[in-house]
Amino acid sequence: MSADSDPRWLTIALGLIVVFMAAEVTVGILAHSLALISDAAHMLTDAASIVLALIAIRLAKRPAQGQYTYGFKRAEILSAQANGITLLLLSAWFTYEGIKRLIHPPDVSGPLVLVTALLGIVVNIAAAWSISRANRTSLNVEGAFQHILNDLYAFIGTAIAGAVVWLAGFARADAIAALVVAALMAKAGWNLVRESGRIFLEAAPAHLNPDTIGARIVMIPQVAEVHDLHVWQITSGQPSLSAHVLVDDNADCHAVRSNIETTLHDEFALEHTTLQVDHSADADAHSADLHCAESHGPVHRS
């Protein structure tokens, strides 16, 4: 799937969500249903995440130049973090309102809640399918997809609550459904904040262990030591690595570097690597003057 198709699928999902969200707010107010209004708020954050994703896609296409040597590839991480924080704040508010309604439940129109929630399930299935057609290796796109998937679960819960209010007259079911939605918001928001925070803090991707990579590099013939090993992500799905590698005195630095790059690409899917390769004797003789008087992180030796 070409990345150029992402805006089209995201725009389709955005249109579905915005139209239904407006209708849901109206019905939620008429039915006095906090569950429907909280679902609509969740859909608002879904819409916001898609809008930010579309903006980030446009920014990421700008070439790297001037002081922005990586371009604007991290724009999607900024939007993902903003979206996650918004979800956490909304979940806190709906938790507060849900608890209030558990104590003092209002009159809720069960049939309206049930019918609207069933329509919401259909809309969310269509929106989730649209976003699933886009490139989900992007943290932004995957975050929008997970939000809509969570919204689908929330609508299922709201439909059940509407049926319970209608058939059993248990008005607190609406507040319970709202609390479930709030919990789903909190989970999705925390995941986005955590993953975007890892990228901003230059943490290694979850599937790449720097110690494992360092141990593998020193297993390559003629590699004596690896230090200053750094693994990070420029943006989601774009891991990078840099390291200082010391090789045997009689080794061909260029051949060893090529061997290391091939190993990193084939075994760890690392395509962007920056390696400084020196002979051990030269590095030992000049380390105090040139490099790595104090190396960062653990040192791996063969």
The domain ranges of the chain are: 3-200, 210-301
Superfamily of domain 210-301: Cation efflux protein, cytoplasmic domain (3.30.70.1350)
Cβ within 8 Å of residue 245, ≥6 positions away: 217, 223, 225, 226, 256, 257, 260, 275, 276, 277, 278
Cβ within 8 Å of residue 62, ≥6 positions away: 71, 72
Q: 225 has which bridge partners? A: 246, 301
**Assessment of whether the complete model's pTM goes beyond 0.75:** no
Cβ atoms of residues 276 and 286 within 8 Å? no
What are the backbone angles phi and psi of residue 205, rounded to the nearest 5°? -55, 150
Q: pLDDT, tens digit, for every residue of 36-50?
A: 777 777 678 778 778
Cβ within 8 Å of residue 41, ≥6 positions away: 90, 94
What are the backbone angles phi and psi of residue 247, rounded to the nearest 5°? -120, 165
The mean predicted confidence, pLDDT, of the chain is: 81
pLDDT bucket at 244, cuts 50 / 70 / 90? very high
Superfamily of domain 3-200: Cation efflux protein transmembrane domain (1.20.1510.10)
